[in-house]
Amino acid sequence: MFKINENYLKLPGSYLFSTIAKKVAAYQEANPDKRIIRLGIGDVTLPIAPAIVEAIHKAADEMGHAETFHGYAPDLGYAFLRETIAEKDYKAWGCPIDADEIFVSDGAKSDSGNIQEIFSQDSRIALCDPVYPVYLDSNVMAGRTGEYDAATGRWSNVIYMPCTAENHFVPELPKERPDLIYLCVPNNPTGTALTRDQLKAWVDYANQEGCVILYDAAYEAYISEEDVPHSIFEIPGARTCAIEFRSFSKKAGFTGVRLGFTVVPKDLKCGDVMLHSLWARRHGTKFNGAPYIEQRAGMAVYSEEGNRQVMEQVAYYKRNARTIYDGLKEAGYTVFGGINSPYVWLKTGDMTSWDFFDYLLENASVVGTPGSGFGPSGEGYFRLTGFGTYENTVEAVERIKRLK
Ligand code: MLT
């Protein structure tokens, strides 16, 4: 009889957002008259900006003519996009990153889930707690996390770095040495960020201890504060210890288009081996390149018009986040985030995170995400996203206020 990867059986329950979707569908079926407002999964609601739609049409037309047709894309991405990213997302911010260190992909979720494959099976991982569940789950699937303790919600072989109101959501350097450190800045779900000095402490630590920082900057476009870096490569020393993931999903509304990229600097080495070579080998073997049409759509994000339009969308979602933040604060909730992020993180008072989820769904028909779904230290917290429409956001806040 064939055997399966038994690590999958260790995963408790289904993926967080699938569990929520099932619960919401059951509620809607039982209450067909209720108009549910979904501020759970961070999925965008605004349509793709006009300059990008135009680029998509143009690229689709090119695909229809023999002279301009494109087959397989280069597996690391088209030079036009990689060069533009290097210029506008890195060199313009003083980051020493070259185009051939950029790997274009179908998004940060796949890259941040797949990156663990290039590291040794016995690598020790350190995670902020709470954090985006993909980092943990992909390591569970790989068999790296030890045993799960349902009572504590913790895995025996994972180093948890709690990020709570008590430490202002700033992770402390771990006492035991990890091999891989996942940092998500601005953080999903807490909506909080690290300053340059705080991030420098991590870069120095990683270089000193021989760790790799897996840095997820998917929410970079939402940074408002001067002192929060847009890339880990703004920090001196990061080229020898960091890999960065970026996404077009939250910046340009590409959740349904799918485009992202990963930066692996050539100075990042294990002995003589460049991680860049390993990731290139993996990418070439398991990925056929992001589609031409999508890479042209990505290019349009960097045009003057495209950039103006997507930043207007980011501003729209930030206004939503601010509306949630201010409204809930006024209603007496303790709230965090929402400044450098589309996410607002709140305390659930004397309810557990899942009890608060049910309470909000049943009494206000508003969907959010229970903090405990992002890690044990998320218990007692709840996440609402600014990605709804403005009208729905205002109404959701009003409904929640009325419950008080
Ligand atoms: C979230 O809601 O945390 C994100 O939308 C999930 C994702 O980006 O995959």
Residue 404: predicted pLDDT: 78
H or E stretch covering 300: helix 292-301
Residue 370: predicted pLDDT: 97
For residue 269, the cross-strand partners are 274
User: Whole-model pTM?
Assistant: 0.97
- Please report the domains of the chain, with CATH numbers, ordered by start residue: 6-46+305-403 (3.90.1150.10), 53-303 (3.40.640.10)
What does the alpha-carbon distance between residue 272 and residue 201 come to, in Å, rounded to a whole number?
26
Q: How far is CA 326 from CA 132, 339, 341, 350, 399, in A?
A: 25, 11, 14, 21, 14
Q: Which atom of ligand 1 is nearest to the CA of 255?
A: 8
Asked if pLDDT for residue 12 goes beyond 90, the answer is: no
Å from CA of 41 to ligand 1 middle: 6
Asked if pLDDT for residue 95 goes beyond 90, the answer is: yes
Nearest CA to ligand 1 atom 1: 42
Tens digits of residue pLDDT in 107-161: 999 999 999 999 999 999 999 999 999 999 999 999 999 999 999 999 999 999 9
DSSP-derived secondary structure for 166-224:
GGTT-PPPPSSPPSEEEEESSPTTT-----HHHHHHHHHHHHHHT-EEEEE-TTGGG--
DSSP reduced 3-state for 69: coil
Torsion of CA 37, 40, 42, 47, to 10 degrees: -20
Length of the chain: 404
Ligand 1 pocket residues where CB is under 6 Å: 41-43, 109, 132, 188
Tens digits of residue pLDDT in 74-84: 989 999 999 99
Residue 103: predicted pLDDT: 98
Å from CA of 298 to ligand 1 middle: 19
Residue 14: predicted pLDDT: 81
How large is the C-alpha radius of gyration of the chain? Answer: 21
What does the alpha-carbon distance between residue 79 and residue 95 come to, in Å, rounded to a whole number?
19
Is the bond into 189 cis (omega within 30 degrees of 0)? yes
What does the alpha-carbon distance between residue 148 and residue 119 come to, in Å, rounded to a whole number?
22
Those residues whose C-beta lies under 8 Å from the C-beta of residue 175, and which sit 6 or more positions away, are none
Asked if pLDDT for residue 386 goes beyond 90, the answer is: yes
Å from CA of 325 to ligand 1 middle: 19
What does the alpha-carbon distance between residue 30 and residue 360 come to, in Å, rounded to a whole number?
16
Residues 20 and 40: beta-carbon distance below 8 Å = yes
Tens digits of residue pLDDT in 339-374: 999 999 999 999 999 999 999 999 999 999 999 999
Q: Which two tokens stand for residue 213?
A: 């920082």
DSSP reduced 3-state for 330: helix
Nearest CA to ligand 1 atom 6: 42
Token pair 């990689």 in the structure block, residue:
82
- The single-letter DSSP state of residue 267 is T
Instruction: Taking residues 183-194, report their average pLDDT.
Output: 98
Residue 239: predicted pLDDT: 98
Is the bond into 186 cis (omega within 30 degrees of 0)? yes
Say how many C-beta atoms besides its own lie within 10 A of residue 227's C-beta. Answer: 11
DSSP reduced 3-state for 365: coil
Q: Mean of the per-residue pLDDT values for the chain?
A: 97
